[in-house]
Amino acid sequence: MPLAVSILGLSVFALGTSEFMLSGLLQPIARDMDVSIPTAGLLISAFAIGMVVGAPLLAAATLRLPQRTTLIALLAVFGLGQVAGAVAPSYEVLFASRVVSALACAGFWAVGAAVAVSLVPVNARARAMAMMIGGLSIANVVGVPAGALLGQHAGWRAAFWAVAGLSALGLVGVFAFVPRTEARSGQDRPRLRTELAIYRDGQVWLALATTALSGGAVFCLFSYLAPLLTDVAGMDEGWVPTVLALFGVGALVGTAVGGRIADAHLFGTLYGGITASTLVLTALALTAHHVVAAVTLALLLGVTAFFTAPALNARMFNVANAAPTLAGATNTSAFNIGNTLGPWLGGLVIDAGWGYPAVAWTGAALAAAAIGMTAAASRLHHARGGSRVVTGSAAPEQQERHDAVEQAG
């Protein structure tokens, strides 16, 4: 795997820490800003909304710019957004800083994914995306628990300052190791109208729906995992960072295994991982009052959720092969639609008085819907006799490998 792909994964560590660390900071933020926990949970949705809007817009706006320069600029803006969050005097300012940071994060994901995929052959796409997603997994293992610890002992603002420092390190890494690229010109010049043609394809929309539903299922629960552990399972708040770290360990394992399997068995990976997540969420809804069960299932949810992530990304790049930047951007948007929908639905069931276990039931229902989307995509895929690239075509030898991978799934 090229070194540049690893560097992109390390940069994603900073982005992922910021995106997910609020799951361990909701309680101190709610106390400090004098808002309810569901209202504090909207800060997670704010970041997700920024990702949803920012990914396709920034991908389109930077389509003809040098990719390395774009990545550096976006990381700089992201770091400044973290600084703004650290000094935010009110909930409204903190909310706005989350949206700005998310816009930059979305652009980085879109361009970074396209760069990572461009550096490897078609039959290594899932592994390349697993490397980037691994940055998110490590963020859950290290960054999110560390953010929770900082929130408990140095105040939640310290966590934002720490992510700002990580962003600066990521910027240096991208500057030093990601290959310099020039804007393409002539016939190679990207054309937005051509790339937009991917949205005429039903497989693209099925891939996006699967990503959104599976992401929503996980983050419906994960966003409220800390209060579920303390208020339902009876765990001391000081142990929450440890459980968040266990979720991250599970995510790291799931990403590594899923990345290796998905290139050869794409649909099998999707079916297996999403079904497993449905079962884990159902079990958690039934056993949330038992601390050992809740902790164990949190670990397993990390495994099952991130097991499918490389396959979800690779599937999108396969069905939109000739529009890699918009493919990555749109899949990022879909994931964060789920990350917006999940916490919002979770907040609704909490506000309705149904309790935190009902959040797990809601996540299980979203995961079951994702299985349905996967089944529809699989039927359409096989009805077409294999893969169909929406616009343009890959090199013949790459396309043959691409079709073989899809048929094996």
Q: Tens-of-pLDDT digits for all 409 residues of the chain?
A: 678 888 888 888 888 888 778 877 888 888 888 888 888 878 877 887 787 777 777 777 777 778 788 889 999 999 999 999 999 999 999 999 998 898 888 888 878 877 887 777 766 766 777 777 777 667 767 777 788 788 778 888 999 999 999 888 888 888 888 877 655 554 555 566 666 777 777 788 888 899 999 989 988 888 888 888 888 988 887 888 788 778 878 888 888 888 788 777 888 889 999 999 999 999 999 998 999 999 999 999 989 988 888 888 778 777 766 566 677 677 777 887 887 788 889 889 988 888 888 999 999 999 999 999 999 888 887 776 554 433 333 333 444 444 444 444 4
**CA terminus-to-terminus distance, the chain:** 23
The predicted pLDDT at position 87 comes to: 92
Count how many domains the chain has.
Answer: 1
pLDDT, tens digit (0-9, with 9 covering 90-100), for 216-250? 998 888 888 888 888 898 888 788 878 877 887 88
Q: Which residue has the tokens 């690229």?
A: 181
Other beta carbons within 10 Å of 269:
27
Summary mean pLDDT of the chain: 80
Identify the pLDDT of residue 386: 52
**Helices of type H across 197-323:** 202-222, 225-227, 240-262, 266-287, 291-307, 309-319
In a domain, 340, yes or no: yes
pLDDT on residue 394: 38
The pLDDT tens digits for 309-341 are: 888 877 877 776 656 667 767 777 788 788 778
213 domain residue, yes or no: yes
Per DSSP, the three-state class of 184 is coil
Residue 184 covered by a domain: no
pLDDT of residue 407: 43
Task: Output the 3-class SS for 258-285.
Answer: HHHHHCCCHHHHHHHHHHHHHHHHHHHH
- pLDDT value of position 387: 45
The answer as to whether 355 is a domain residue is yes
246 found inside a domain: yes
- Per the structure, the complete domain to which residue 94 belongs is given by 3-179+192-408
User: What is the 3-class SS of 83-97, one letter each residue?
Assistant: HHHHCCCCHHHHHHH
| Helix, strand, coil share of the chain (percent; to 5) | 85, 0, 15
The answer to whether residue 86 is domain-embedded is yes
User: In Å, how far are 20, 35, 152, 197, 207 from 373, measured between CA atoms?
Assistant: 26, 37, 41, 22, 8
Token pair recorded at residue 75: 């990381």
- Looking at residue 326, which CATH number applies to its domain? 1.20.1250.20
Supply the pTM of this predicted model: 0.68
Q: Is residue 240 part of a domain?
A: yes
Asked whether residue 186 is domain-assigned, the answer is: no
